[in-house]
Structure 1
Amino acid sequence: MSEQSHIVDAETENDARSDVSNIHTDVVPAHEEAHAERHIDAPGSMRSIGILFAVVILAAIGYGIYSRRSHESSLQETTAQESIPPVIVTHASIGSKSGELTLPGSVSAYIETPIYSRTNGYLRKWYYDIGAHVKQGDLLALIETPEVDQQLIQSRAELERQEANAQLAGTTSDRWQSLLAKHAVSQQEADQARSNYIAAQAAVDASKANVKRLEELQNYEKITAPFSGVITARNTDIGDLINAGSGSANPRELFHLADTNKMRVYAAIPELYADRVRNGGVAKITQDSNPGQVITGNIVRNSSAIDRTSRTLNVEVDIDNRNNLLRPGAYVFVHFDLPGAPGTFTIPSNTMLFRAQGAQVAVVKDDRVQLKPIKIGHDYGDTVEVLSGITAQDALVLSPADSLVSGAQVRVTSTVAPKGLE
């Protein structure tokens, strides 16, 4: 009994301790309760942090993929843009600029002539030497013509004889006419006398003509100036044998006379510019002997024909030379102002391409190139005149590549304004 009671008491004591323990367990301090709650929620917080970290990683991965794809797209676009060749374009100027055409010219006196003798003889005396200014009618030289003088004396004597014969024949004819009225002579005899008178009169006229001819030849003993001018050459001296005319076997030009108050300048215009040099225009003359001196002249006439050999148009420019600025025979330069041609265009020289098809330009339209053939006019150096093939609205590629072909895509980076015409 005692052992069982001890066992029961022990169990009872254990149960009481258990109840006290439960009571102590149920009564928990407030800070311990809070700590317990935080301890209970810790696994959920770690889960939230993990989820957030995963989201951040996924966002970073997504952004990296997006950035890489965006960069690749941008790179592809940039590569595509860079593969299109960039070009600079300009436009043609309407019309062609006026220019200056400089050509060599030859100076001639407005009037000049060689002076020959019209009679045979010996030079007795000359009065003017080279460089002398003479007036029309001035005596230049005297020629001795003894043969002509003797022929003139003989011809005058012959004239007197013929006049005497004619006078006698006239008197005889009158007498026969009187006798014919009295029927003392026949009509035949009267007519014969009349015929003799007419023949004698004709011989008188012929003799007078011969005397007149010899007198004219005698007058040619005096060499006079046909117009006012300057003696530019003297090719004779006292005692020289003079042959008549310029068509003899040994003609001799006695003097050369030139009117230098007005000069003619001749220039050969190339056929290309022949239509742009007009009568009535102005030309400027320069010469190496005085480079700073500019002489103005007028274009008065041209030959109206192209020389078959040189393919040039002969043009005459008249110069007022009263100040003796030019000399006959001088080598000068003639400067012609060429007006711009209507209906044409002017483009920079570096817009042209030269292919087997001829001269071409690259025209940009809708970012595509089209090669157009052109017809070239005058070349001004940095610019070229175009007669046909383009319009003022065409965008011309500056410095086009030799490999450029029609249909190629290009990228216009800038547009250069056309230069103004001068």
Structure 2
Amino acid sequence: MSTNEIRVSSDDGTAKRLRRLRIAGVIAVLLAVGVYAEGVSSRIHTDHSLSTWSNAQAVPSVRVLLPVAETGGASFDLPGRLEAHDDASIHARVSGYMKAWYVDIGAKVKQGQKLATIDTPELDQQLAQAQADLAREKADLALAASTSGRWSAMLKQDSVSQQAADEKSSELAVKRADYAAGEANVRRLQALESFRTLTAPFDGIVTARHADIGALVSAGDTGGPELFSVASTAQLRLYVRLPQDYAGRIAPGMHVRFDVPERAGQSFGATVVSSNDDVDAQSGTLLVQLSADNHDGALIPGEYAQVHFVLPAAAGAVRVPASALLFRGSHPQLAVVDSNGHVALRDIVIGTDYGTALDIASGVQHGDRVIDNPPDSIVAGEAVKIVETKDVANGSQRHA
């Protein structure tokens, strides 16, 4: 082989090596660029994921309540007292001595039934004297009438003067007045005589007797104990002090249930009759009067009762737990999640406060998503994430 051929062959080998080196270099550059691009892409993706996670963590998670229209109203117990429908303290209208009594405490009496008799000797003598005076005045009136008639006849014959006849006529008028006064006095004393017998003013039970035979009785002595006390117990009055918050929801005809300590497990019914429409400034309550049937005599006047009220719900009210309430400024508020997932703060009017729950008269309505236990930092327009929804009506929960 010649020298020229050997040189050409050597040049071809060098060229091939250089070509391979260039290709290897290009591949290395491409690999480096690929590795760099992958690193940049991974970093961008990681940064985006981190930003997305951070933004998600920044949105508060809340639990919401779905209030419903309230239909049950308030249910609560209040103390009350039972009193007789009618309770009469019977005192003497005439003075004298107790002659006899015919009924004792616990006796059932009818209207007009005799309770006792009072011996009235002084009154008897006064009546006898009045009747005697009336008889004398009757005789004087008859004589005055006869005299006046005769003088009137003589006046027609000009036997007497007009002055004398007029005097006799005046005397007749005086006698007539005296007789009328005497009649009135007799009737007065006869009326007092009728009070010697004490009678029951209505059907009822004798609840007190302070009448003893031979005891001195003074007319009109209301400072001392009554001679008898009679109570009508077929119907009883039940008095309850009702808080002012419920005053507008009590109406005549409303029915309630109550029980008394000595009849455990037994419940009685009563009906609202009226209230005094006057809130006591110290207690913030008004007096409500109810009527309870007691024809079987199971209840006793004066005893304590526990009265169970179930009031109708306020019109348009919805109920939410007290934990949802916000106090900011001058009005209580509720935080509501709108359709876009943002917070809206609603001023509300509380209808009835039950302690752990509230009837809201206005501000929210059925279907609003009310945030339960809202954080103090919550503001209007803030985006929130609902993680749980609770139905106030039945307490069921569902997760978002």
Both structures adopt the same fold (TM-score exceeding 0.5): yes
- Between 1:321-330 and 1:58-67, the stretch displaced more is 58-67
Q: What does residue 12 of structure 1 align with?
A: none
Q: What does residue 291 of structure 1 align with?
A: 264
CA contact (8 A) 1:267 1:314 kept: yes
**Which letter maps to 2:353?**
D
Q: C-alpha distance in 2, partners of 1:305/1:352?
A: 31
Within 5 Å, which residues of 2 pair with 1:116-131?
A: 116-131=91-106
Query: Is 1:326 matched up with 2:299?
Result: yes
Q: C-alpha distance in 1, partners of 2:109/2:99?
A: 20
Q: What does residue 210 of structure 2 align with?
A: 235
Q: What does residue 393 of structure 2 align with?
A: 419
Query: Is 1:336 matched up with 2:284?
Result: no
SS of the equivalent of 1:130 reads coil
Q: Of 239, 246, 249, which aligns to 1:273?
A: 246
Within 5 Å, which residues of 2 pair with 1:135-154?
A: 135-154=110-129
Among the aligned pairs, what percent are the same residue? 36
Q: Of 372, 377, 387, which aligns to 1:398?
A: 372
What is the CA deviation profile of residues 195-243 of structure 1, one whole-angstrom value per residue up to 9, with x for unaligned ones?
2222222212211221221122122111111111101111232222211
SS of the equivalent of 2:174 reads helix
Q: What does residue 253 of structure 1 align with?
A: 226
Q: What does residue 350 of structure 2 align with?
A: 376
- Between 1:411-420 and 1:315-324, the stretch displaced more is 411-420
Q: Of 377, 384, 387, which aligns to 1:410?
A: 384
CA contact (8 A) 1:286 1:334 kept: yes
Within 5 Å, which residues of 2 pair with 1:25-174?
A: 62-95=37-70, 97-174=72-149
Q: What does residue 216 of structure 1 align with?
A: 191
CA apart distance, 1:61: 5.7
CA apart distance, 1:60: 5.6
CA apart distance, 1:340: 0.8
CA contact (8 A) 2:67 2:391 kept: no
Q: C-alpha distance in 2, partners of 1:317/1:393?
A: 39
SS of the equivalent of 2:265 reads strand
**Which letter maps to 1:312?**
T
SS of the equivalent of 2:141 reads helix
CA apart distance, 1:406: 3.0
CA apart distance, 1:390: 2.8
What is the CA deviation profile of residues 256-310 of structure 1, one whole-angstrom value per residue up to 9, with x for unaligned ones?
1111011111222222211100111112122222231111122122334444554
- Between 1:98-107 and 1:316-325, the stretch displaced more is 98-107
Aligned residue pairs total 380
**Which letter maps to 1:402?**
D
**Which letter maps to 1:297?**
A
CA contact (8 A) 2:75 2:310 kept: yes
Structure 2 residues not aligned, in runs of 5+: 2-15, 396-400
CA contact (8 A) 1:277 1:336 kept: no
- Between 1:405-414 and 1:139-148, the stretch displaced more is 405-414
SS of the equivalent of 1:79 reads helix
TM-score, with structure 2 as normaliser: 0.85
What is the CA deviation profile of residues 5-60 of structure 1, one whole-angstrom value per residue up to 9, with x for unaligned ones?
xxxxxxxxxxxxx9xxxxxxxxxxxxxxxxxxxxxx99999998998788677656
CA contact (8 A) 1:159 1:204 kept: yes
**Which letter maps to 1:346?**
R
- Higher Rg of the two aligned structures: 1
What is the CA deviation profile of residues 61-116 of structure 1, one whole-angstrom value per residue up to 9, with x for unaligned ones?
65454334323321221122112221122333234641224222221211221111
Q: What does residue 5 of structure 1 align with?
A: none
**Which letter maps to 2:375?**
A
CA contact (8 A) 1:242 1:252 kept: no
CA apart distance, 1:320: 1.2
Structure 1 residues not aligned, in runs of 5+: 1-17, 19-40
**Which letter maps to 2:162?**
Q
CA contact (8 A) 2:319 2:392 kept: no
SS of the equivalent of 1:223 reads strand
CA contact (8 A) 1:152 1:211 kept: yes
TM-score, with structure 1 as normaliser: 0.81
Q: C-alpha distance in 2, partners of 1:191/1:199?
A: 12
Q: What does residue 13 of structure 2 align with?
A: none
- Two-structure CA RMSD over aligned residues (Å): 2.9
**Which letter maps to 1:120?**
S
SS of the equivalent of 1:293 reads coil
What is the CA deviation profile of residues 328-350 of structure 1, one whole-angstrom value per residue up to 9, with x for unaligned ones?
11111222221111133322222
**Which letter maps to 2:325?**
M
